[in-house]
Structure 1
Amino acid sequence: MLPRLEEVETDLIMRRKRAEEEQWLGEIEGIDLTLTFLRTKQAEAVRSRRRSAVDLGLPRPRTDRN
């Protein structure tokens, strides 16, 4: 997932540069917003990668003790 997010980020940065050159202010604003969300997603992916799996065990049917 992280390599794909990096590709998307690179593409967005290139698109932002073009938008600046063309003075497309609305496009710049939209790209900046998307970059913010993308970078948040990247940080979440890095954090989740560091977490270890939790063993919850196998579910077992309940037995009535009445």
Structure 2
Amino acid sequence: MLRPDPEAKPRLVKIRDNLIDRIKEAESHRWLGEAEGLKVSLAGANAKLAEMDQITARRTTTQLGMPSFTLAAGRTNLDPERTSKIP
């Protein structure tokens, strides 16, 4: 199953709002079969929006900070006199 991308939420909200308007129009013209089909699509859009909200709520960012490599880099000697005396 594909997970919806929370970045696409504004587009899906527009689709949901359009479906609501189309359902009202279908019911006003007494196109009951069309209205029922649109209600199925609306239920799917609402489910996707709820899933997007859950994904966003679970998504957290942890700042780990910048690693320090002084211990991993080994020994460094910045004293030029000691460097020249090492055999």
Query: TM-score, structure 1 length as denominator?
Result: 0.74
- Could you tell me how far 1:52 is from its partner in structure 2? 2.7
1:13-41 CA-to-partner distances (Å, cap 9, x unmatched) read 11011101110011010011111111000
What is the match of residue 40 of structure 1?
47
Query: TM-score, structure 2 length as denominator?
Result: 0.58
Aligned pairs, number: 54
The two structures, once aligned, show a CA RMSD in angstroms of: 1.5
1:23 to 25, 30, 34: 30
**Runs of at least 4 residues of structure 1 off by over 2 A?**
none
Unpaired stretches in structure 2, ≥5 consecutive residues: 1-7, 62-87
What is the match of residue 49 of structure 1?
56
How far, CA to CA, are the matches of 1:14 and 1:53 in structure 2? 35
How far, CA to CA, are the matches of 1:51 and 1:41 in structure 2? 15
Q: Report percent identity of matched pairs.
A: 38
Q: Which has the higher contact order (CA 8 A, sep 6+)?
A: 1
Task: Say which structure is richer in helix.
Answer: 1
